[in-house]
């Protein structure tokens, strides 16, 4: 295992410490275990938004704490959910007296610990609502969408819910409702070209031959839809795009945002090669792209590969997506 680290056991904590030192005007670190990242300089007097998840996916999850986005985030070990106490500390930090939306991926450990945390905080008078991201079409059929994993498309829900929460008349119910609509309108598919290595495991999460790719795998190395030879970038883009269009029923006249996301090791040049093809195909189909995103938004350590996300926009979702927001990993002020 070749990684820049000291001890595998200290990996998550030292990464969080370094992130906060690198962006001292953006992030604060708090909580009993130091595993809660909070927004500095505001956020009170409105509906709070909290997320959480394992390390190894930056900028998801903690990187999206900021103005117009998350107010706090609980962080677990690499590919492991945050502890109940950390979830509680994050919720308390985000509470401004108007309730707190819990917005995170559809993973068993995260769901269990956030549910326990919110139940215990009811006694403190903190109201919460939960919305789960279920955008990964490779993990379950549309008929069983509630079983799908949450992957890069969660970032759209962060942005849209965060903008809604900043409105003067926003309530916990209205913020949760728009977050659910964002989740319902978002689909994602991924392609892995190589695995990653979890520091504490010391070995790759799965194995791929030199000429193989995994289509539809999860961000923790969960099995995908199929495995086969690596194909040309245009063919890869066509396959990914058609999977999403078919699943979501996106058609001529629709308006979407597109996210081409690096899973960690894939460089921008290769992402742009994919986006070039996706943008051209959407144009041919009469589907308008309102807000393209190309870069690292939700990673899987040093995994090589990419994911493609589409969110179908209506007037409100587009306005919220384009509303001002600012953190080190997202800025459209």
The residues carrying an active-site annotation are 57, 220
41 Cβ neighbours under 8 A, 6+ residues apart: 25, 67
Phi then psi dihedrals of residue 161, to 5 deg: -65, -40
Determine the Cα–Cα distance for residues 252 and 200; give it in Å rounded to an integer. 47
- Residue 104: beta bridge partners? 132
Determine the Cα–Cα distance for residues 284 and 186; give it in Å rounded to an integer. 21
- SS3 assignment for the chain: CCCCCCCHHHHHHHHHHHHHHHCCCCEEEECCCCCEEEECCCCCCCCEEEEEEEECCCCCCHHHECECCECEEEEEEECCCCCHHHHHHHHHHHCCCCCEEEEEECCHHHHHHHHHHHHHHHHHCCCEEEEEECCECCCCCHHHHHHCCCCCCHHHHHHHHHHHHCCCCCCHHHHHHHHHHHHHCEEEEEEEEECCECCCCCCECCCCCCCEEEECCCCCCCCCCEEEECCCHHHHHHHHHHHHHHHHCCCCCCEEEEEEEECECCCHHHHHHHHHHHHHHHHHCCCEECCCEEECCCCCCCEEEEEEEEEECCHHHHHHHHCCCEECCEECC
Determine the Cα–Cα distance for residues 94 and 71; give it in Å rounded to an integer. 5
């Amino acid at each position: 295992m070749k990684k820049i680290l000291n001890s595998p056991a200290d990996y998550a904590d030292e990464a969080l410490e370094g992130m906060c030192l690198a962006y001292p005007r953006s992030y604060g670190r708090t909580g009993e275990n130091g595993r809660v990242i909070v927004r500095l300089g505001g956020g009170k007097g409105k509906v709070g938004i909290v997320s959480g998840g394992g390390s190894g996916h930056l900028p998801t999850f903690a990187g999206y704490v900021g103005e117009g986005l998350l107010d706090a985030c609980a962080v677990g070990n690499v590919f492991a959910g945050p502890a109940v106490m950390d979830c509680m500390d994050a919720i308390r930090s985000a509470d401004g007296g108007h309730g707190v939306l819990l917005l995170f991926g559809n993973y068993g450990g995260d769901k269990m610990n956030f549910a326990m945390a919110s139940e215990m905080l009811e006694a403190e008078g903190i109201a919460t609502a939960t919305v789960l991201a279920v955008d990964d079409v490779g993990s379950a059929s549309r008929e069983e969408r509630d079983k799908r994993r949450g992957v890069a498309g969660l970032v759209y829900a962060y942005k849209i819910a965060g903008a809604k929460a900043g409105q003067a008349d926003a309530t916990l119910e209205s913020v949760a409702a728009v977050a659910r609509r964002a989740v319902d309108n978002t689909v994602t598919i991924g392609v892995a070209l190589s695995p990653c290595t979890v520091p504490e495991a010391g070995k790759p999460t799965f194995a791929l031959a030199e000429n193989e790719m995994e289509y539809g795998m999860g961000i923790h190395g969960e099995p995908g839809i199929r495995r086969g030879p690596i194909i040309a970038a245009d063919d890869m883009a066509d396959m990914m795009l058609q999977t999403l269009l078919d699943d979501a029923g996106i058609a001529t006249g629709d308006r979407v945002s597109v996210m081409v996301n690096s899973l960690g090791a894939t460089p921008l040049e290769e992402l742009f090669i994919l986006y070039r093809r996706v943008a051209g195909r959407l144009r041919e189909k009469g589907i308008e792209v309102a807000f393209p995103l190309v870069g690292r938004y939700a990673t899987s350590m040093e995994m090589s590969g990419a994911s493609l996300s589409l969110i179908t926009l209506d007037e409100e979702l587009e306005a919220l997506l384009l509303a001002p927001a600012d953190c080190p990993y997202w800025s459209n002020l």
